[in-house]
Structure 1
Amino acid sequence: MPTENPILNVDSYKASHYLQYPPGTEYVSSYIECRGGEFAETVVFGLQAFLKEYLCKPVTRENIEEAADILHCHGLPFHHAGWEHIVLRHGGLLPLEISAVEEGSVIPLHNVTTQIVNTCPACFWLTSYIETALVRAIWYPSTVATQSREIKKIIAHYLSETADSQDGLPFKLHDFGARGTSSLESAMLGGMAHLVNFQGTDTLSGIMAARKFYRARMPGFSIPAAEHSTMTAWGRENEVSAYQNMMTRFSGKHKRFAVVSDSYDLWNAVEHIWGETLRDSVINTPGTVVIRPDSGNPVQIVVECIERLMTIFGAEINRKGYRVLPDYIRLIQGDSISRFSIPKILQAMKEQHQSADNITFGMGGELLQKVDRDLMSFAMKASAVRISGTWKDVYKNPRTGPEKASRRGRLALVRQDNGALNTIRLEALGQRRNLLKPVYRNGELLIDTTIDQVRQRASI
């Protein structure tokens, strides 16, 4: 469980940093950017959730006493006077100003996305103190949202080539990732981040997070679906009855339900159960049966499964010249799905003249768990300090790691005449609009963004 003490939501060494700044230090300005990575741009998302959950709540004296005891026992100094000052002078609310691009903005790498500065000179040490929590709060949901969006672009490409429309795109990647995350909070944040791009999810905690933090009413949807236990509980000899029960319970006009069909023999299920015993029911019962394979090589399994279903149920040729199953039957592939396997599957389908309309993908651990901070190299660095009334650039430029060189000065993000985004020094802003807007100041949330606004900005 996360600590409820914000003073302890930190890397240990931060506790000693208030003693390490030069005499006369009054303000420290830091920024966050993506220094490189697999994707050319990032969807900035998740800051508001962190601000609402953690930074809009006051630090208490109880927090101070607990932190003092723990950090002293841990072997570190503790800035008792500094935290007491925050409680006495600021009501326990952190004297910080955080400026950021609008959530959902798609920002090319190597640009500032967030800037933080203390608002009280006695709390110069506070800017860097929250680095641990702040970077973690941003890198994870931003990375999930970015990967999800990149996959959306892939699927949209294949729909544009092989389907008559992209109407089904919002439901083409379904979140199966809840059980594969490291914690409930990860499932909440990651599941919510996926909803920036898609509306299909089984990660209910992501729904709840979007409702809580981004004023969403119902940002995602699911359908009844079988798992192996509900199918195998009938016994192999009653596999037909298990499938028939799904149809009886969940079919209906405009309804969909998914049936995992590889508990024993996928091809027997496709050809003899769905294709013979239940064929007339599938055709004549209102709604859509979604067949789910769950094992084998996903590229081969998907293409062959669709091919066999087309042999049994037929297919129409769409305006692009690709084959589409009847509306009453579809496929969902939820095993071994990643940003690498999805284009391989869709390309193999295209080569077999199968439309991308035939399939939905379910993505689990690869969506919410197999990401890390290095995927886009998120980092927060100090770039300016004010000492005794004078602002001074600060930076790092390691000879042994030039890729880690940091920016200098207080920063702004502007859109150039050609539409490109560019990070500049704040004093060079002039009459241009700074895309970094204050979103938090001294415990108050200044902008309350909705999930619909985020989706609009991140749209492809």
Structure 2
Amino acid sequence: MTNLILATDSYKQSHFRQYPPEARAISAYGEARPNPFSEEVLFFGLQPFLIDYLNKPITQRDIEEAAEICAAHGVPFNREGWQAVLDDHGGYLPLEISALPEGTIVRSGVPLFQAVNTDDRMPWLTTFIETALLRSVWYPTTVATLSWKCAQIIGAGLEKSSDDPEGQLPFKLHDFGARGVSSGESAAIGGMAHLVNFAGTDTLEGIMAARRYYGADMPGFSIPAAEHSTMTSWGKTREEAAYANMLDAFEGEGALVAVVSDSYDLDNAVENIWGGSLKEHVLSRKGTLVVRPDSGDPVETPARTLAKLWDIFGGTTNAKGYRVLNDRVRVIQGDGMNVDSIARLIDRVIADGFAVDNIAFGMGGGLLQSVTRDTLRFAMKANAMRDGEGVWHDVSKNPATDPGKASKAGRQAVVVEDGRLTARQLDSVDAPQDQLQPVWRNGEMLRRFTFDEVRERARR
């Protein structure tokens, strides 16, 4: 599964025979086209692909395996071309890839990266890697953008209602998506993309990916938390004992413990256990209890829970006039959360007179899995061809049946105009102005970003 020659669509194996005979180089760019989900995108995730895939040279064994597979599969195989990659380039793809700095937030429709072959014998190579290259970018960029959109919504709610919006925001959206994705690699890449914007996660693969690919120290944090099995195993008649055990087992000044409280009857748990028989236990212990509703309407249920906790435990009113619960209790809503429901729940919390400080949000498959390449309408398209005389010719498509799929003609540059990143043809700008800078060339990484750099750029 790691043979780069086979990490493509079958039909691309035949493309070495399809380009014009005068073609010496093909340039292609990748972008998130204008889409209904987000006017801006947070570019992230190219670096792991460069490290794990392009940084590993192909071998003779890879060539022989690919030749065998293609012959049996019914498609041509470019043995001469791949043998030249191995013999003349040490197995590293003769490509140059330029990209925006990772963590850049840019309007849709602006190129994020651009690739071109550096060996004139291999104009077919640029678009051959489209499948693997585009896949490596669209998924983490889409998850990072989704997470970033949530950060904008939550941040606006905090600015309105909290005395400490900057301090609160990093832990307001927690990633519970590890079990909801298609693979461990997806958990790692998607979980890492979420951590660009937030520091709360239960996806350990995402933490490890940020450490491996971007040199992060510890980019994400979690707390002890119950699940239904650890509560219901006590039996319904011992629900109170199960909760008391959570309070005792994870006590400490400043410590938090989250307890799912809807195994039987959420309202009874809040009113008669947390706010009744265990009320003094909650108030006297060192640490904060985070009550987790996990069923019911994703807006009404947590709003009702928050109001009941206020009636029972009280709290204070902050400088902005919003109520903040006693610091021994908080709420987290992780069921049914998405961009829309988070926005509605924040509006409801604020309308009820509460600061957003009182509640945190969690997302699972909705964060890491409920996205596709079409969410941000990602595409990689050829934009120029260089002939044997060294002349570049514009290449583009413009389908009459779907003008929205028209591609950009000519090698691209991205420049700052009026404070915004804008696409321009490369020939029309001075090289130092171009924000698309080489990050990979002929087997060598030219630029490596740290996770701190990515995070700082994304907080513009």
Common fold by TM > 0.5: yes
C-alpha separation in 2, matches of 1:434 and 1:198: 30
Is 1:206 the counterpart of 2:199? The answer is no
Is 1:391 the counterpart of 2:389? The answer is no
Q: Deviations over 1:82-133 (max 9, x none)?
A: 0000000000000000000000000111111100000111111100000000
Tell me the residue number matched to 2:18: 20
Tell me the residue number matched to 2:80: 81
Tell me the residue number matched to 2:57: 58
AA matched with 1:20: Q
AA matched with 1:277: S
AA matched with 1:81: E
Tell me the residue number matched to 1:40: 39
Tell me the residue number matched to 2:401: 400
AA matched with 2:121: A
AA matched with 2:397: K
Tell me the residue number matched to 2:109: 110
Matched residue of 2:339: which SS?
A: coil
C-alpha separation in 1, matches of 2:236 and 2:420: 60
Q: Which runs of no fewer than 5 residues in structure 2 stay unpaired?
A: none
* Range with bigger deviation, 388-397 or 94-103: 388-397
Matched residue of 2:302: which SS?
A: helix
Note if contact 2:306-2:331 (Cα within 8 Å) is conserved in structure 1: yes
Note if contact 1:27-1:387 (Cα within 8 Å) is conserved in structure 2: yes
1:20-419 aligned within 5 A:
20-37=18-35, 38-166=37-165, 167-389=167-389, 390-416=391-417, 418-419=418-419
Matched residue of 1:263: which SS?
A: coil
Shift of residue 430, structure 1, vs aligned partner: 2.7
C-alpha separation in 2, matches of 1:56 and 1:289: 47
Note if contact 2:6-2:66 (Cα within 8 Å) is conserved in structure 1: yes
Matched residue of 2:453: which SS?
A: helix
AA matched with 1:113: L
Note if contact 1:315-1:324 (Cα within 8 Å) is conserved in structure 2: yes
Note if contact 2:337-2:366 (Cα within 8 Å) is conserved in structure 1: yes
Q: Deviations over 1:176-233 (max 9, x none)?
A: 1110011111111100000000000001000011011010111000000000000000
Shift of residue 24, structure 1, vs aligned partner: 2.3
Shift of residue 25, structure 1, vs aligned partner: 1.2
C-alpha separation in 2, matches of 1:338 and 1:35: 22
C-alpha separation in 1, matches of 2:202 and 2:370: 18
How many residue pairs match? The answer is: 457
* TM-score, scaled to structure 2: 0.98
C-alpha separation in 2, matches of 1:329 and 1:147: 29
Supply the RMSD in Å over aligned alpha carbons: 0.8
Shift of residue 258, structure 1, vs aligned partner: 0.3
Q: Deviations over 1:278-300 (max 9, x none)?
A: 11111010000100010000111
C-alpha separation in 1, matches of 2:194 and 2:22: 45
Q: Deviations over 1:138-188 (max 9, x none)?
A: 000000000100100100101111111111100000001110011111111
Note if contact 2:192-2:207 (Cα within 8 Å) is conserved in structure 1: yes
C-alpha separation in 2, matches of 1:208 and 1:113: 25
Identity within the alignment, %: 53
Matched residue of 1:399: which SS?
A: coil
Matched residue of 2:174: which SS?
A: strand
Note if contact 2:316-2:325 (Cα within 8 Å) is conserved in structure 1: yes
> Per the alignment, do residues 152 and 300 of structure 1 end up closer, same or farther by CA in structure 2, a change over 3 Å counting?
same
Note if contact 2:315-2:327 (Cα within 8 Å) is conserved in structure 1: no
C-alpha separation in 1, matches of 2:100 and 2:315: 47
Matched residue of 1:123: which SS?
A: coil
Matched residue of 1:210: which SS?
A: helix
* TM-score, scaled to structure 1: 0.98
C-alpha separation in 2, matches of 1:375 and 1:5: 28
Note if contact 1:414-1:432 (Cα within 8 Å) is conserved in structure 2: no
Tell me the residue number matched to 1:5: 3
C-alpha separation in 2, matches of 1:291 and 1:112: 44
Shift of residue 432, structure 1, vs aligned partner: 5.2
Q: Which runs of no fewer than 5 residues in structure 1 stay unpaired?
A: none
> Per the alignment, do residues 96 and 431 of structure 1 end up closer, same or farther by CA in structure 2, a change over 3 Å counting?
closer
C-alpha separation in 2, matches of 1:337 and 1:425: 41
AA matched with 2:142: T
Note if contact 1:302-1:333 (Cα within 8 Å) is conserved in structure 2: yes
AA matched with 2:240: V
Is 1:433 the counterpart of 2:433? The answer is yes
C-alpha separation in 2, matches of 1:342 and 1:196: 19
C-alpha separation in 1, matches of 2:430 and 2:55: 32
Q: Deviations over 1:376-425 (max 9, x none)?
A: 11100000011212211111111111111111111111001x21221111
C-alpha separation in 2, matches of 1:443 and 1:201: 34
C-alpha separation in 2, matches of 1:427 and 1:439: 20
Note if contact 2:29-2:114 (Cα within 8 Å) is conserved in structure 1: yes
C-alpha separation in 1, matches of 2:119 and 2:190: 34
